[in-house]
């Protein structure tokens, strides 16, 4: 099965998509990556969905990537005696260390770390930004605020602190248990929530090792201060516009999205645009025109993938949402303007042999009108560097490792396959031509461009470029 598009689709699984027939339909409609959201559901739920995806993979014969998304340190207020209060604009309201149920004047804040960093003049956002409080003072046990934007506040609503770096580890105890469980299943990507600085990745990197790719979710404004460092320390990035849009003014989000995309392209890291892409399709069979334009903009900007959340997890039209996203991407990629924009964004190769070879692969494939650019890879490095160049030809990635093939299913333009190890250049050329023909990319007489590394089987040794005729 060849996807006739370069950008990829991530579909979140949930109550609406938990049976083999529906997951098969999602895959056939265009889903390349399936997301397990550990903010919801039990381990048993996630294992059942994981096993179903692997069954779809077995039947289809195509590597499918599975993303395990960690919940992260979600901050919440405590309960209220009446279940809900109404905060009036201009009133004083306190958040304190007293675990007693709250009222219209105060509420318990079960996060002692906040009392260490919150200062007068800062803002607290409650319930996804619906309420805004201005901090008046903080004595270490009580944060006294004035209500700037009021409204109803109920039990355990979320708290966002946009004006400071919070001294909270991105891996909670729940996350550590979930992470180890996801790795034991065989998840291909682990996503970390609420990353603020590159140091936040250290523990996760040690725990994950080489068992999965490490994805960073960018949803805190503080992360933007060290954006390039965070991107460089990660394996991939998700622009999580939900929480990012709470803590940033809405008018800043589009520019920040483009900035993150540019950084990821520069460093050659796959990037997903996520949250509210086709949100109206949770309840309707078609999206708004603004949503379709939002998806299209991400594709024009060169994103590796776009993601569905509640649309596919709990919506009434999950398969239609994937199919719609598939159609939008294809429409954009067939627009002559798309190629012009991708070429205009072209990144110069870095000063490494791998980047030099993959830049040459792009140019050679275009010059000789190759039907496909073939990359041999063990770790995925060669295919990733080739994708960074955004060639016009599709990238046929050949690897002996199923785990690598699955991970690369997320990457722009990469058609990932598994093949036995090769031992010589002649074997490489024969296998490349055979795979290109078998997978439907080439016919007899077509030319292919091939990049690989010698000695074969060693990671990070991309140093060979070859032209062959099928």
Give pTM, 2 decimals.
0.94
Percent of the chain with pLDDT over 90: 91
Q: Which domains does the chain have, with CATH numbers?
A: 8-73+170-335 (3.20.20.60), 84-160 (2.40.33.10), 353-469 (3.40.1380.20)
In 10 A of CB 424, how many CB atoms?
A: 10
Mean per-residue pLDDT of the chain: 95
Mean pLDDT of 3-17: 97
Q: Phi/psi at 70 (nearest 5 deg)? A: -75, 145
Q: Is the pLDDT of residue 461 over 80?
A: no
Q: State which H helix or E strand residue 86 sits in.
A: strand 84-87
pLDDT of residue 422: 85
pLDDT of residue 456: 79
86-123 per-position pLDDT tens digit: 999 999 999 999 999 999 999 999 999 999 999 999 99
d(CA 359, CA 350): 9
Cα dist from 426 to 361, 401, 433, 435, whole Å: 19, 21, 11, 14
pLDDT of residue 390: 97
pLDDT band for 180, please (50, 70, 90 cuts).
very high
Give the list of residues 6+ apart from residue 55 with CB closer than 8 angstroms, or none: 20
pLDDT band for 412, please (50, 70, 90 cuts).
very high
Mean pLDDT of 291-311: 98
d(CA 122, CA 132): 10
Mean pLDDT of 164-169: 90
């Amino acid at each position: 099965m060849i996807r006739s598009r370069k950008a990829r689709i991530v579909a979140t699984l949930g109550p609406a998509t938990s049976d083999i027939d529906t997951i098969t339909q999602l895959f056939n409609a265009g889903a390349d990556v399936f997301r397990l959201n550990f903010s919801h559901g039990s381990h048993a739920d996630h294992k059942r969905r994981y096993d179903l995806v692997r069954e779809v993979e077995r039947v289809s014969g195509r590597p499918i990537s599975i993303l395990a998304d960690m919940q992260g340190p979600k901050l919440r207020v405590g309960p209220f005696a009446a279940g809900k209060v109404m905060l009036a604009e201009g009133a004083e309201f306190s958040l304190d260390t007293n675990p007693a149920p709250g009222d219209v004047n105060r509420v318990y804040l079960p996060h002692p770390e906040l009392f260490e960093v919150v200062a007068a003049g800062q803002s607290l956002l409650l319930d996804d930004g619906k309420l805004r409080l201005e901090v008046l003072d903080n004595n270490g046990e009580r944060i006294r605020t004035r209500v700037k934007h009021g409204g109803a506040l109920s039990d355990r609503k979320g708290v966002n602190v946009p004006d400071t770096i919070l001294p909270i580890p991105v891996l909670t105890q729940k996350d550590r248990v979930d992470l180890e469980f996801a790795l034991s299943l065989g998840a291909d990507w682990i996503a970390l929530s609420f990353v603020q600085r590159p140091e936040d990745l250290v523990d996760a990197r040690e725990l994950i090792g080489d068992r999965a790719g490490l994805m960073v979710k960018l949803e805190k404004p503080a992360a933007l201060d060290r954006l390039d460092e965070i991107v460089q320390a990660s394996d991939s990035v998700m622009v999580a516009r939900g929480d990012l849009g709470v803590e940033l003014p809405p008018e800043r989000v589009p520019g920040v999205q483009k900035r993150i995309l540019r950084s990821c392209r520069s460093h050659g890291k796959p990037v997903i645009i996520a949250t509210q892409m086709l949100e109206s399709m949770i309840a309707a069979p078609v999206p708004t025109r603004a949503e379709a334009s939002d998806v299209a903009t991400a594709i024009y900007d060169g994103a590796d993938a776009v993601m569905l959340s509640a649309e596919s997890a709990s919506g009434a039209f999950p398969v239609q949402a994937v199919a719609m996203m598939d159609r939008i991407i294809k429409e954009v990629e067939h627009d002559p303007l798309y190629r012009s924009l991708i070429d205009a964004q072209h990144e110069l190769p870095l000063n490494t042999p791998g980047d030099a070879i993959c830049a040459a692969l792009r140019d050679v494939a275009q010059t000789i009108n190759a039907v496909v650019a073939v990359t041999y890879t063990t770790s995925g490095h060669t295919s990733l560097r080739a994708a960074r160049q955004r060639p016009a030809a599709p990238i046929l990635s050949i690897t002996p490792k199923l785990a690598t093939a699955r991970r690369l299913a997320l990457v722009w333009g990469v058609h990932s396959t598994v093949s036995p190890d090769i031992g010589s250049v002649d074997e490489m050329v024969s296998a490349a031509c055979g795979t290109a023909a078998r997978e439907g990319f080439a016919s007899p007489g077509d030319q292919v461009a091939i990049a690989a590394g010698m000695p074969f089987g060693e990671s990070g040794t991309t140093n060979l470029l070859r032209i062959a005729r099928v």
